[in-house]
Structure 1
């Protein structure tokens, strides 16, 4: 198990800075977003788990605080974790009772091996993010000793916060159709939960309804490199003679890699296919890329706020049964694809 000192060595900054960030105090100490992302990435990569017993021994205000664990799958990008963490922290700052957030990295399909979750000894409640099919099956089959809220997943008996994944895909397809596109390709990673499949299903249904030909889907790694390599390969093979009019990417990261590959191949300006991504990365990266990236925006910070509200509601007895909250989504047009028509946007 990694220590704060090891994380500091990995990132190349002081142990005190790492401790401040992992303790949820980065904003008040004015630590940059870039530094926080590096620390969270290293913590997940090295398998950092906080020493809750040591914190309790220190006494002080920590003796009365609620400890909420955030379980984050290690194979998901650090930038996504940072957005979610930022939403949690913002909501916690509004609460009267002290709440400490801690990160527990886990490997998809192995959530059942997390002793902190199954024993309930190290935290009062948990928010589980990015659970796989196997992880959800484990949760459904298990009676956990602490309240649990699921982020962007649904499982019988658990509170959850979600978005309409079918609509996410449908909005992208409608935007392409409104821009006059006739053919579209999909770049996404292999689905690890039902929502990913629903996004692609919604995209295909809406696209076909508007006469959009959807090309065969081929999976890629969920990263900037994955998007870059996927487009580079297709430009040498199936897209060599004819580009699709549009490309729908399963994540912001994949889209940024795709843009790089198109640019290197000389497809810029009007030569570039229309491109939309599921907006799950840092918003400023999407807004300031060249061209700026149009997205169906995943309101991660708002979802995090709802998650912590559900956690606190269960702990203080206001929420006694499983409650699911569905948050609205929106299409954000930028330079890579134009707006929806007025009719479609309503």
Structure 2
């Protein structure tokens, strides 16, 4: 039973209630709950008193009031091309982890690689202000992105191919050299001479850049790129399946096949096996980027990989440098590192 002089717990506790219970000023509570806004040191004892009071009262900071005070929304947005593609999952997870550690929420938008959806995303973040944006643009032009940044003053960082003369930071870079090295490895180390490449349509990065790397390796090795060796399909499992059926319909198909992404390569393996062929005995198949399915399918997929969680952390940290005003000026470029991982599909 509560004592007569006990005060009931507030239904909607405020910062004032937290300060009173902890025996400190409201400004001290504010400095503990919004550490990024102040450099004033707070003792660990005082900090713990405040956190205990917050927990006891069930206090939830008023984000609207904080936004008005700090001119920040405590929100960042992510736009990716295909949320079902496992390539993005560790990247988005890492971005969320960094954001949450800074008391930021994350909005995630899926564009389905459709231009209108990418435009709609830009319009949406103007209506619902965010402090920064991470995106993997596929259809928007550099000029459109620059115009958006100039108009909105929102920091933007992109995952993808190197974009020159832009106002946004970019992590990734062209994958053409990595593809060139991987195809050269197929030629020199594995002895293949007839190599096919499953690419995307020309307006769908990064397929064209990777296809350029394939072509350069074949030309330098003085190997023919026969009609039907380069096929263009969707960046999906089904795209890889369709391509494999096309190769099998050829009178003299390639002995090795390179998929522009892991999904395409896995689709090709699946279709070859469904039709009674063996991988790698009948066809060596490899892909680009690593996803969980690459080590679920048998044989496991040989592929060119990046450290995806590390890329996610890098994207988030670079974005917060812009948000916090630690960096200003022209957009910067950060080259990803690629590594060939040999498994059983080659």
Q: Same fold (TM over 0.5)?
A: yes
Alignment match of 1:264 (pick from 255, 263, 274): 274
Aligned-residue offset at 1:271: 3.1
Counterpart of 1:318?
Answer: 326
**Compared with structure 1, are the counterparts of its residues 287 and 171 closer, same or farther at alpha carbon in structure 2 (3 Å cutoff)?**
farther
Q: Does 1:222 align with 2:235?
A: yes
**Compared with structure 1, are the counterparts of its residues 194 and 288 closer, same or farther at alpha carbon in structure 2 (3 Å cutoff)?**
closer
- 5+ unaligned residues in a row in structure 2: which ranges? 1-58, 67-72
Q: Does 1:207 align with 2:218?
A: yes
Calculate the TM-score normalised by the size of structure 2: 0.71
**Compared with structure 1, are the counterparts of its residues 71 and 318 closer, same or farther at alpha carbon in structure 2 (3 Å cutoff)?**
same
**Compared with structure 1, are the counterparts of its residues 191 and 117 closer, same or farther at alpha carbon in structure 2 (3 Å cutoff)?**
farther
Q: Does 1:332 align with 2:341?
A: yes
Counterpart of 2:94?
Answer: 87
Aligned-residue offset at 1:59: 5.2
User: Across the two proteins, how many residue pairs are aligned to each other?
Assistant: 270
**Compared with structure 1, are the counterparts of its residues 194 and 266 closer, same or farther at alpha carbon in structure 2 (3 Å cutoff)?**
closer
Q: Does 1:140 align with 2:146?
A: yes
- The answer as to whether partners of 1:296 and 1:332 remain within 8 angstroms in 2 is yes
Counterpart of 2:109?
Answer: 104
Q: Please, what is the CA RMSD of the aligned residues?
A: 2.4
Alignment match of 2:179 (pick from 166, 169, 172): 169
**Compared with structure 1, are the counterparts of its residues 206 and 109 closer, same or farther at alpha carbon in structure 2 (3 Å cutoff)?**
same
Aligned-residue offset at 1:76: 6.1
Counterparts of 1:330 and 1:212 in 2: how far apart (Å)? Answer: 25
Counterpart of 1:71?
Answer: 79
Counterparts of 1:249 and 1:269 in 2: how far apart (Å)? Answer: 14
- The answer as to whether partners of 2:79 and 2:136 remain within 8 angstroms in 1 is yes
Deviations 1:243-298 (A, max 9, x none): 31210101111111111111122221553222110125x2x321231111000114
Alignment match of 1:242 (pick from 229, 252, 256): 252
Q: Does 1:253 align with 2:253?
A: no
Alignment match of 1:116 (pick from 116, 124, 128): 124
Structure 1 window deviating more from structure 2 (327-336 vs 162-171): it is 162-171
Counterparts of 1:296 and 1:248 in 2: how far apart (Å)? Answer: 11
- The answer as to whether partners of 1:125 and 1:147 remain within 8 angstroms in 2 is yes
* Pair member with larger Rg: 2
- The answer as to whether partners of 1:168 and 1:278 remain within 8 angstroms in 2 is no
Instruction: Find the residue that maps to 1:60 and give its secondary structure.
Output: coil
Deviations 1:197-242 (A, max 9, x none): 221111211232123433441211221122112212331x21xx32
Aligned-residue offset at 1:300: 2.9
- The answer as to whether partners of 1:152 and 1:161 remain within 8 angstroms in 2 is yes
Aligned-residue offset at 1:313: 0.1
Report matched runs for 1:155-194 at 5 Å: 156-177=166-187, 178-193=189-204
Aligned-residue offset at 1:106: 3.2
